[in-house]
Amino acid sequence: MILAVDEENGIGKNGRMPWHHSEDFKHFKNYTRGSICIMGRTTFEDIKSFKKRDSGRFLPDRQCIVLTSDARKHKENNQYTHVQFMDGATGLIDILDFANRANFVEDEIFTHLSRVTQNRPYTKIPDISIVGGKSVYELFIKEGIVDEICLTRVKGNHNCDVIVNIKDWVKDFSHIDSKVLSDNCTVETYKKDVVDESKKVS
């Protein structure tokens, strides 16, 4: 899972990213390249409008699943073959099943991922990036299947109208790395603390 927060834990304003730091965007591209990116419809619209001003392409080298309650409406205007709209997702297995049917993941990978996800919820799920916004982050955090949080801390208060409870989200994770990207951005990496069920005392 990848996100950026300002000093007030804000992530968005008026449906947009409130800042544009090229070094963080480069970091986002490197982190998500080659993966299946899962996002909410608002975030899709935001990235789309940004890309129009940029190169006109929508997150190339990635496959994207956009969650919405009205997939049919968005499918009609969809100009990108690597972007698929999904109705009413309830969680990862549901989304993987959809990704499999959209030929985003091979049958064997889907079967494997479904099995490990159901049996061992904290097993690393390769090649899937949760890229926001808040509603989608919350869906996955609640499900407990996020194994890594890659968090950019952005300097300043950007008067956001979408605020996240990052302290709560990382409470079962260990902070394993910090990297300064620029004067404005520092990336922190958190890994899920794996509970050894065999050592649990009931």
Ligand X SMILES: NC(=O)c1ccc[n+]([C@@H]2O[C@H](COP(=O)([O-])OP(=O)(O)OC[C@H]3O[C@@H](n4cnc5c(N)ncnc54)[C@H](OP(=O)(O)O)[C@@H]3O)[C@@H](O)[C@H]2O)c1
CB of 15 to ligand X, least distance (A): 5
Give the contact letters, 139-178, x = binds to ligand X (CB under 6 A), - = no: x----------------------x----------------
| CA–CA gap between residue 105 and residue 95 (Å, rounded) | 11
Q: Does 64 bind ligand X (CB under 6 A)?
A: no
Question: Is residue 185 a contact point for ligand X (CB under 6 A)?
Answer: no
Six-digit token string for 50: 């940004």
The b/e string for 71-85 (b: 16+ C-beta within 10 A; e otherwise) is beebeeeeebebbbb
Which pair of tokens denotes residue 38?
């899962």
The least distance separating ligand X from the CB of residue 122, rounded to whole angstroms, comes to 21
Shortest distance in whole angstroms from residue 16 CB to ligand X = 5
Residues constituting the chain:
202
Q: In the structure encoding, which two tokens stand for residue 9, read together?
A: 């834990």
For residue 63, state whether it binds ligand X (rule: CB under 6 A): no
* Range in contact with ligand X (rule: CB under 6 A) among 15-23, 104-112, 170-178, 186-194: 15-23
Q: Does 98 bind ligand X (CB under 6 A)?
A: no
Task: Pick between residue 135 and residue 182 the one whose CB is nearest to ligand X.
Answer: 135
Residue 135 CB, nearest approach to ligand X (Å): 4
Pairing label, strands 162-163, 10-12: antiparallel
Sort residue 131 into left (φ over 0), alpha (ψ -120 to 50) or beta: alpha
